Chain A
């Protein structure tokens, strides 16, 4: 009985902190979603109805991914600022280090889901028939790509605790990947394709087998474990 009430108290503390983190990420998320929804509408209107927005879908998916990456960067930077101040209050008693990292991770992963849902639903508002143009593999690649980016940024936030490092990592992952995919080195391209499955799917690299989703999922799992280890080892109480 006592154990259950303890668990409930833990859950409610996590929920309260989760709401605080969600409010921190909510601003950038709303701004980015507004811009992306407006862009989706504009691009749908700018294509002839016969072709539909299908021809512009890769551009939209790329821009949605860039929009989300800004949300992830803002979230990870907010975590860095939080770690310098208010986090000490939370980490000293109410929530555990793992729960603290988990709250930020949940916020960023939910933001990814929210961004993608808003993108799909913007299509559905215009005409549900447009959803047929979104390939499930491409959708899976988008979500895995966002998860890897969020995990990498959060791990860097816990490890380096400097916003400049996060910006450098974000720029390398967002813009550097496209250049690296164009390089002749097979190993390097393979690594980039695993780290940014959306980019490899959109650029058509490895078109025969599609984006390496299984390897990307393994990378995401490895980054999650790394974040868990870093949270336990590097967050002070």
Chain B
């Protein structure tokens, strides 16, 4: 009866080897794919004439600590559209200087920034632990001070790797990220703000640079609502890629060897030749064929 276990192990090993061979020949197999929703803006930052929107990409399917061997997660990111950015204005905090006049009742005020043109997209991959412990607090600080170039540099400098997007024929920015175990992704979407205009509630349009100067003089801090710049199309597709490792191939070969040993042992003990069922199968097939 050992041969039955041997046959099962041999078959399982052959199927595993075949699947691995297929995966290797096509440079990895992807069978799981999902569209990622919930891309959120973490901060806005100014860099010269550029406005950077920092988008945090959720990474479903990216392996956690119990990642399965041979699997890597990948993200396909595509960004397109003519974006507008809604900027939330925060009134200055109470201080001895402004306590003398009554503070208006709090309600968020938004200013729309239009005529932005996309200049580029760069995504930064972080180690999960670094992202949680060091990058997130910095992002919190950056959200309150978008002119801190220093903070921005520190945020981007902590990344493990960066990938610049290419522009496809349709004018969209596209890139593919390969993610390792426990990683986080932050994408910096760069807009050219030289021609941008700030649009106020009453319809007044002022150049973006002028708006900045006004905001500075009024000590009004611009912030960012917790959603992505709108009129912007951000498509993120996450998928798992399987590429067999040498250890996996070795395990499949060990399974094959174990099956062969069991079949040989049974044939030796019983004196009955193995794989007779294959002859039976051939006979049946021949009979059907004639």
Contacts and interface: CB of A to CB of B under 8 A. Distances in A.
Check if A and B associate: yes
Interface of A: 12, 15-16, 18-20, 22-27, 29-30, 33-34, 37-38, 41-42, 44-50, 52, 106-107, 110-111, 113-115, 117-119, 121-122, 124-127, 129-130
B8 A49 contact: no
Contacts of B4: 22, 25-26, 29, 107, 110-111, 114
Contact of B270 (A18, A113, A122, A129): A18
B59 to A, nearest CB: 9
Identify the interface centre among A27, A34, A127: most chain B CB within 10 Å of its CB: A127
A129 B68 contact: yes
A127 B70 contact: yes
B208 interface: no
Interface in B1-53: 1, 3-5, 7-16, 19, 29, 31-32, 34
A47 B12 contact: no
A48 B275 CA distance: 38
B63 interface: yes
Closest 5 CB pairs of A and B: A48-B61, A19-B272, A114-B8, A37-B15, A27-B277
Contacts of B32: 45-48
B82 to A, nearest CB: 34
A126 B277 contact: no
A122 B16 contact: yes
Contacts of B69: 126-127, 129
Identify the interface centre among A15, A38, A45: most chain B CB within 10 Å of its CB: A45
A26 B248 CA distance: 27
A33 B31 contact: no
Contacts of A29: 4, 7-8
Interface of B: 1, 3-5, 7-16, 19, 29, 31-32, 34, 60-64, 66-71, 73, 238, 240, 242, 248, 251-252, 255, 266, 269-272, 275-278, 280-281
A50 B62 contact: yes
A111 B8 CA distance: 8
Identify the interface centre among A30, A44, A46, A129: most chain B CB within 10 Å of its CB: A30
Contact of A125 (B67, B248, B266): B248
A44 B8 contact: no
A125 B11 contact: no
Given A46-B31, A125-B255, A117 B5 contact: yes
Contacts of A41: 15-16, 19
Given A18-B270, A34-B15, A49-B61, A24 B277 contact: yes
A144 B248 CA distance: 31
A125 B252 contact: yes
A32 to B, nearest CB: 9
Nearest to B276: A23
A7 B8 CA distance: 31
Given A23-B272, A46-B32, A48-B240, A121 B68 contact: no
A129 B281 contact: no
A26 B270 contact: no
A121 B258 CA distance: 11
A142 B232 CA distance: 52
Given A24-B277, A127-B69, 19 more contacts: A16-B272, A19-B266, A20-B272, A23-B277, A26-B276, A27-B277, A27-B281, A29-B8, A30-B277, A34-B14, A46-B31, A47-B32, A48-B60, A48-B238, A50-B63, A106-B1, A117-B9, A126-B68, A127-B70
Contact of B9 (A38, A50, A106, A121): A121
A44 B69 CA distance: 11
B3 A113 contact: no
B61 A117 contact: no
A5 B241 CA distance: 60
Contacts of A124: 251
A126 B67 CA distance: 11
Contacts of B275: 26
8 contacts: A15-B269, A19-B266, A25-B4, A49-B63, A111-B4, A125-B252, A126-B68, A130-B68
A110 B271 CA distance: 19
A136 to B, nearest CB: 19
Nearest to A42: B31
Contacts of B16: 37, 41, 122, 125-126
A125 B270 CA distance: 30
Given A41-B16, A130-B68, A19 B11 contact: no
